């Protein structure tokens, strides 16, 4: 049920409730938005539902402990989170330049939170409350629970617990762990004795404190000295990150031991429904005089699932939300939709019904519930597992019921979808429904690259799977009489991607008339397999070397190749092609990516390459030219070849914009 009252954020608001004490202080680096898309709101409302008095401290002044002590000392503990988005990613671009906008702060202003706020806030809270239990959690703490490579320091940092005075760390989706910790603290159980809760980590002098058949991974000192040790540690951490078969992990640091207990089991459907039924106000707190941009993206969106078995190696979700999928009931989602309809600002459009991957509603196979996720095996890539249960029927039915509600004009699906999973579903009803009802002119998907070797390092399906999906998407749109487009997300400079691989991708985009709107340089965030590859130059799954583009200029050339049409990229594109030995792509022919600079000598190949529609089976580039491409049809020299429909649409959009 939609609430009407925010939790107190000041002493005055506590007194207005006749509170002269409170139980937990929840500190967040984001502005206070009471909406279930924000972890702070979920944890706060969960504690409230358990009968505790909760106060929220959002983006406090961290230069002293004064703001932390302003509401008085909480009876049981302080819970600290670094916000919905990792602070360093939010503050800095992949080029390590300071961003100029913070979507999670009022007015989008920068500077309202420090770098690494979990560490800073925990130290200020300890100054304010020397003997009060402190628990850190959220994305920032979760990804940094082990010793980890820090891209911004370009060095290995120890576990975040060693940099804070916190007593416990909660990782992953923290409802169950937080509930249990709160129960024990309220019963006066010493925080030092809370060592058996799943989904938590703590520091001890006695490794025997871990009761979950612990396994030891290389120490902080070892992984600082040896990249091979770092890779082994990363692989072990991923192997044991499973709520069914996972064991506790020990990691020594400076004579003490970090203990990371196995993950909590995912919430049941009933428990997840309860989380989303809490009385959220679903608004920004009125203490702010300027809007908080982050609310607009989620105000009329619905999250229906958690977890992702997609297994992309560069994605932090596998190490935070886990690979085991759980979802809300239809009734719960429909109740939330009915609440949206009552909002005066609602115009009839639900912006998204999704999650980490929108089209996952259940575990990838029945065995996972008993045995956990398979070790060293991905459910979808490079090929789908034979046990995969690809079924969209429940999701399709949910979307149908949503769009039938009175007051609903359109229901969009804007979260990422796994097209490889869609192709495994023999029933094409969801595919047709998606095209007919749930796309706003374009569908965004993430093939990321075209070269098989690079995709294997990414944990993504090979490019022929994307081509198959693309062909089916076109056919369904044509049959429905719709003109809708596919927007591919692409990534440059991922570990394993060479300059030659970037050229191969540029060629395929050029041949198909694609002008990528989204190109992301690989961003090494803590805790991912891809970040391990970036730092060590080793694939932790095989312990074999992997090429890494670490030099900023090399990365700039890879990115420029994917945006070869931009005039400002011309110099870089030419330099990249020359370095890759592909001067044949500099010239005036149709197959060329870029025209030469004034005075540059154009290399004339003996044969013009053909324009095949597919790359080699190994995905590393175009097929060898077997025939000379004639350019124009024989007997009709004045007729140009037809323009691809995607290029024609892009040209029409540019003219319309002018």
For 502-538, what is each residue's pLDDT tens digit? 999 999 999 888 777 778 999 999 999 999 999 999 9
Backbone torsions φ then ψ of 264, nearest 5 degrees:
-65, 150
Q: Which of 458, 484, 132, 113 is nearest to 311 (CA)?
A: 458
Residues contacting residue 403 through CB under 8 Å, at least 6 positions apart:
410, 411, 437
For 395-428, what is each residue's pLDDT tens digit? 999 999 999 999 999 999 999 899 999 999 999 9
Give the pLDDT confidence score for residue 318 in this predicted structure: 79
Pairing outcome for strands 249-253 and 256-260: antiparallel
Residues contacting residue 155 through CB under 8 Å, at least 6 positions apart:
149
Confidence of residue 1 (pLDDT cuts 50, 70, 90): low
Mean pLDDT of the 43-47 span = 97
pLDDT over threshold 50, residue 248: yes
Give the pLDDT confidence score for residue 654 in this predicted structure: 62
Rounded to whole angstroms, the Cα distance separating 151 from 92 reads 11
Confidence of residue 156 (pLDDT cuts 50, 70, 90): very high
Mean pLDDT of the 269-296 span = 95
pLDDT over threshold 80, residue 623: no
> Residue holding tokens 């505790």?
52
Q: Which domains does the chain have, with CATH numbers?
A: 11-202 (3.40.50.2300)
On average, the pLDDT of the chain sits at 90
Q: Which residues pair with 327 in a beta bridge?
A: 305
Q: Return the SS3 of 82.
A: coil
For 299-332, what is each residue's pLDDT tens digit? 999 999 999 998 899 998 878 887 889 999 999 9
Rounded to whole angstroms, the Cα distance separating 117 from 86 reads 10
Rounded to whole angstroms, the Cα distance separating 36 from 39 reads 7
pLDDT over threshold 50, residue 357: yes
Q: Are 215 and 240 in contact (CB under 8 A)?
A: yes
> Residue holding tokens 């961290």?
62
In this predicted model, which residue has the larger pLDDT, 218 or 3? 218
Report the 10 Å Cβ neighbour count for 430.
21
Residues contacting residue 234 through CB under 8 Å, at least 6 positions apart:
529, 532, 540
Rounded to whole angstroms, the Cα distance separating 465 from 447 reads 9
Rounded to whole angstroms, the Cα distance separating 288 from 611 reads 57
Give the pLDDT confidence score for residue 603 in this predicted structure: 65
Mean pLDDT of the 480-487 span = 89
Give percent above pLDDT 90 in the chain.
78
Confidence of residue 618 (pLDDT cuts 50, 70, 90): very low
Ordered alpha helix ranges (H), 481-592: 499-511, 529-536, 552-562, 570-579
Rounded to whole angstroms, the Cα distance separating 512 from 139 reads 39
Confidence of residue 637 (pLDDT cuts 50, 70, 90): very low
Give the pLDDT confidence score for residue 377 in this predicted structure: 82
For 429-471, what is each residue's pLDDT tens digit? 999 999 999 998 889 899 999 999 999 999 999 999 999 999 9
Give the pLDDT confidence score for residue 367 in this predicted structure: 85
Give the pLDDT confidence score for residue 440 in this predicted structure: 84
End-to-end Cα, the chain, rounded Å: 47
pLDDT over threshold 70, residue 368: yes
Rounded to whole angstroms, the Cα distance separating 532 from 538 reads 7
Ordered alpha helix ranges (H), 316-361: 317-320, 330-342
Tokens of 394: 């429940």
Q: Which of 95, 6, 88, 100 is nearest to 54 (CA)?
A: 6
């Amino acid at each position: 049920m939609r609430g009407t009252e925010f939790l107190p954020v000041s002493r005055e608001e506590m007194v207005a409730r006749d509170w002269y004490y409170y139980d937990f202080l929840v500190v967040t680096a984001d502005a206070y938005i009471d909406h279930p898309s924000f972890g702070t709101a979920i944890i706060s409302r969960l504690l409230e539902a358990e009968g505790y008095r909760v106060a929220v401290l959002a983006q406090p002044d961290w230069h002293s402990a004064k703001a932390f002590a302003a509401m008085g000392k909480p009876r049981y503990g302080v819970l600290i989170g670094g916000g919905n988005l990792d602070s360093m990613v939010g503050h800095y671009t992949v080029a390590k330049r300071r961003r100029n906008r913070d979507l999670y702060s009022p007015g989008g202003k920068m500077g309202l939170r420090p770098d690494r706020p979990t560490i800073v806030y925990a130290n200020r809270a300890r100054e304010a409350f020397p003997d009060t239990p402190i628990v850190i959690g959220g994305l920032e703490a979760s990804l940094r629970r082990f010793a980890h490579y820090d891209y911004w320091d370009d060095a290995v940092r120890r576990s975040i617990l060693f940099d804070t005075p916190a007593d416990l760390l909660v990782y992953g989706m923290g409802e169950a762990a937080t509930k249990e910790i709160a129960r024990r603290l309220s019963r006066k159980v010493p925080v030092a004795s809370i060592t058996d809760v799943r989904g938590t980590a703590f520091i001890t002098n006695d490794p025997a404190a871990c009761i979950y058949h612990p396994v030891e991974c290389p120490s902080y000192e070892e992984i600082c000295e040896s990249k091979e040790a770092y890779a082994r540690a990363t692989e072990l951490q991923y192997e044991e990150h499973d709520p069914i078969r996972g064991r506790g992990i020990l990691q020594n640091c400076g004579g003490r031991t970090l203990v990371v207990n196995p993950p909590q089991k995912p919430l049941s459907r009933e428990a997840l429904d309860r989380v989303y039924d809490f009385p959220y106000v679903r608004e920004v707190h009125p203490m702010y005089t300027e809007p908080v941009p982050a609310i607009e993206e989620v105000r009329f969106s619905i999250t229906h699932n958690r977890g992702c078995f997609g297994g992309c190696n560069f994605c932090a979700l596998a190490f935070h939300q886990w690979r085991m999928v759980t979802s809300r009931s239809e009734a719960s989602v429909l109740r939330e939709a009915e609440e949206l309809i009552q909002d005066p600002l609602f115009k009839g459009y639900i912006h998204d019904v999704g999650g980490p991957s929108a089209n996952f509603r259940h575990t990838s196979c029945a065995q996972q519930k008993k045995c956990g996720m398979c070790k060293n095996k991905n459910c979808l890539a490079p090929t789908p597992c034979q046990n995969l249960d690809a079924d969209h029927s429940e999701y399709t039915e949910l979307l149908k019921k949503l769009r039938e509600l009175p007051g609903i004009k359109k229901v969009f699906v804007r979260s990422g979808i796994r097209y490889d999973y869609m192709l495994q579903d023999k029933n094409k009803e969801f595919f047709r429904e998606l095209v007919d009802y749930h796309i706003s002119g374009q569908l965004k998907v993430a093939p990321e690259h075209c070269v098989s070797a690079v995709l294997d390092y990414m944990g993504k399906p090979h490019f022929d799977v994307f081509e198959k999906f693309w062909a089916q998407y076109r056919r369904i749109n044509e049959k429905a009489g719709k003109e809708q487009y596919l927007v591919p997300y692409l990534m440059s400079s991922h570990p394993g991607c060479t300059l030659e691989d970037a050229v191969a991708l540029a060629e395929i985009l050029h041949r198909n008339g694609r002008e990528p709107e989204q190109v992301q340089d690989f961003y090494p965030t803590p805790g991912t397999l891809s970040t391990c590859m970036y730092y060590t130059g080793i694939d932790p799954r095989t312990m074999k070397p992997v090429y890494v583009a670490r030099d900023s200029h090399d990365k700039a050339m890879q990115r420029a190749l994917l945006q070869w049409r931009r005039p400002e990229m011309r110099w870089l594109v030419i330099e990249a092609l020359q370095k890759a030995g592909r001067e044949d792509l500099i010239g005036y022919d149709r197959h060329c990516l870029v025209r030469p600079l004034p005075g540059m000598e154009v290399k004339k190949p003996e044969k013009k390459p053909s324009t095949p529609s597919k790359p080699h089976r190994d995905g590393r580039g175009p097929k060898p030219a077997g025939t000379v491409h004639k350019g124009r049809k024989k007997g009709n020299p004045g007729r140009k070849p037809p323009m691809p429909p995607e290029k024609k649409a892009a040209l029409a959009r540019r003219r319309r914009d002018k």
